[in-house]
Amino acid sequence: MKAYKKPAGYRLAILSILLLIIGSGCSLTRGISKNQTLVRKITIKGIDEQFEEAALNYVDKEQQPNNKLNLQFYYWFSNHGKRNIGEAPTLLDSNLVEYSRFQMEKFIQNRGYLKAKVTDSVIIKKQRAEIVFTTVEGPMFHIRKLVDSIPDKNIANLYHANRNSMSHIQPGGRFDMDSLAHDRDELYLLMKRNGYFDFYRQYVNFTYDSTFNSSVVDIKMMIDNPAGKTEHPAYKINNTLITISASNGKTTGKADTLQVDSQFRYVDFSHRFKPRVVIDYTFQKKGQLYNIDKQTLTTTRLSELNVFRNVPNPTYEKLGDSTHRLNTKIDIIPLKHYSDRVEGEFLFANGRYGYNVGNTFTNRNLFNQAAILQLKLNWSILFDNGTNTTNSDNIQNQELRMGANLIYPRIISPFSFPLLGKFGVPHTTFSTNYSLFYQKGLVTRQSFVNSISYDFYETARKLHTITPINIEFSRGVIDPAAMDSLLAYNRQAYINLIGRTVFTTGSQYTFQYNAIELNSYDNFLYFRGSLDVGGNFLSLLSNTFNTPRDDSGQRKFLGYTFSQYAKAEGDIRFYRTLGGEKQLIFRINPGIGVPYGNSNQLIFEKNFYGGGANDMRAWLPRTLGPGNFDRAAYYGTDVTGRARYKYLDQFGEIKLVANAEYRYKLINNFFGAKLKGGVFVDAGNVWRLGKKAESPNGEFRFDNLLQSTAIGIGTGLRFDLSFFVFRLDMAFKFKDPQFSGSDQWVLIKHADELFKSGNFKEAYLKANATGVDSKGNIVGDSYNFMQLNFGIGLPF
């Protein structure tokens, strides 16, 4: 059994605040005078269902009913509108109702119901108004015939060659104004992609005739020539001037100036960048037709280099002759060369507390090639439960992490690769990381990881990450007293897991699909899959040269045993929009790691762990499972063993987690942020591959899958500040697999003990005792139904 202390009063206070926000029922009309009426409901009748939701958008914003929480926060905190918090009450205004009726009628007519009429009425009860819009649509008009008039033969040929693939106007289809606007925009882009730099939307016009008795429309599309000309000129790219200012935006003083080739002239006032940094991602080349897509692509890719502060769209100047050529000018402001960011947080969880301090130094333009060097240093320390001092004797654990990443915005390889920049900037990352971890009375672990990775986009939706070389070295030194105790408990496998010196090399591959959609409210599927294989090359070498074995029969290489394994993990998500900013997400996260060959178990870092703010949120990180593992039963009456190994990580070679989350907007303006809510269900666990003495009932079995699956439920708040999201989630254990049978449904059977002690919690504390205090009271793990998670960013 696993659970940890958290003050009940603290949990109850936060729960009360959340319930107050979510379920506030104060009077909605208390802030308006008696002669005013609050708009509380909009009803639309008689309209085609497919247009009903869109029609609501044509009701004037000042007549849209308030969100209850937005209105309550206005009453509570805005000081009668002096502070910009929440929403002022929406008051009934007959002029705005009439304006809304007219806009809605026009909207429905533009959807093809040219004879539609809309009327309005208002129902008032207790200063609350319902506005009813009633529609009589009449017949739907369809397109009978489409003709065009394009005097420029080149444009006519271009249009006819692309019409079927881009047009929404089709004979027999429904007539609506959105289709006309769509075709106008598509024609504009078609021209801009084929050299017509001077082409404007105003050249495209539509006329339609609906004077027939059979509810049909004839459409004529016209593309006019420029005034006084017989055709539209098509332009080609000529010379390109690239100017990089100093980081303060100034272009004064002496600049590095270079005529790179017949197209590019390079002027750098910052003296920091080699020409190829910009030229490689300037996609419009001399002699090519002007193309607006390549103009946008140039701006996007240069921005993605993360070394420039401002990259406006290239500007163009026509040559004074009749050759229809364009000179291009690109003006760029770089970011500061160096930056240094210090981060820190105070940690408080389950009665333990500590500090986490980090520093990241960034050089944004190493070797003048837009290569980014990041040096990271982080130190975290956690103190014992119940102590009020912070000296070294009370340290529970601490970790020092150091790392360096060198990121090039291109593929660096002995082999020749194309730029691969059409859909995103490719990267080559050289990474080295060192970690030193100490856990009081148990182990000191060191790990050293070096890798080279490549990432590139196959399409805008498909991202590949390949790590051909990943070298890992880890070593653990177990406290002698802990070693004796672990041997007494027959935990040799755990000794090998945390205490062995292991060296391995491997390769990794990750594929992501649709990451570009993650911040949208569209319906889409997201997938991320990874494969990690290690030790095969070392196995080949050790077998070839017949290297020696250790006492357990494992081959050594360069004097160290090496790990051989294969690990795969997937992350599949289904995003569904429910209108507005409401969203439903389903996620499945399976994984499996298999040791083989020279290894009979995965190394510590390659195992799966359950719990945490982005996983099974009702459990703390690394405390769930494996399977039906029961900590109380495992230690029995051995209070000393339970106290010594209270914080051992629970791990497994198999992981399966499923999440469902409903997200919605609560308040538009909450102290400068959007306040959003979430309701979620998490289900899953980690399991061992086969039966293990140190993890009884922790093995994966299909016939025991449901019985060994944990379930958590919860709700949370998300504070959306646009540039990041701050999150508070409150999760409850609903089904806990450490128990058996119907006793697993802890929230149903023991809901009365959610925030107070009772027979269940007292029995749990007794079964998980780690000793007694000076007054003779039992000390140990009390059962914690609720877990609070603070985080930055959404969980998935």
Lowest mean pLDDT among 612-616, 657-661, 703-707: 612-616
Token look-up 């270079």 returns 258
Mean pLDDT on 635-651: 77
3-class DSSP assignment, residue 631: helix
Long-range pairs for 51-54 at CB < 8 Å and ≥24 separation? 51/107, 51/108, 51/111, 53/579, 54/107
List pLDDT tens digits, range 106-116. 999 999 999 99
Reported confidence tier of residue 283, pLDDT bands at 50, 70, 90: very high
CA atoms within 13 A on the CB side of 785: 25
Of the candidates 625, 677, 482, which has an alpha carbon nearest to the alpha carbon of residue 24? 677
pLDDT at 23: 47
pLDDT at 401: 94
List pLDDT tens digits, range 144-161. 999 999 999 999 999 999
Mean pLDDT on 368-395: 75
3-state secondary structure 368-432: CCCEEEEEEEEEEEEECCCCCCCCHHHEEEEEEEEEEEEEECCCCCCCCCCCCCCCCCCEEEEEE
The pTM assigned to this predicted structure is: 0.83
Asked if 466 and 509 touch (Cβ cutoff 8 Å), the reply is yes
Query: What is d(CA 234, CA 421) in angstroms, rounded to the nearest whole number?
Result: 27
Burial class (CB within 10 angstroms; exposed 0-12, middle 13-18, buried 19+) of 322: exposed
Reported confidence tier of residue 43, pLDDT bands at 50, 70, 90: very high
- Helix (H) or strand (E) run with residue 256 in it: strand 256-259
Asked if 653 and 688 touch (Cβ cutoff 8 Å), the reply is yes
3-class DSSP assignment, residue 110: helix
pLDDT at 256: 93
Q: How many residues does the chain have?
A: 796
pLDDT at 565: 95
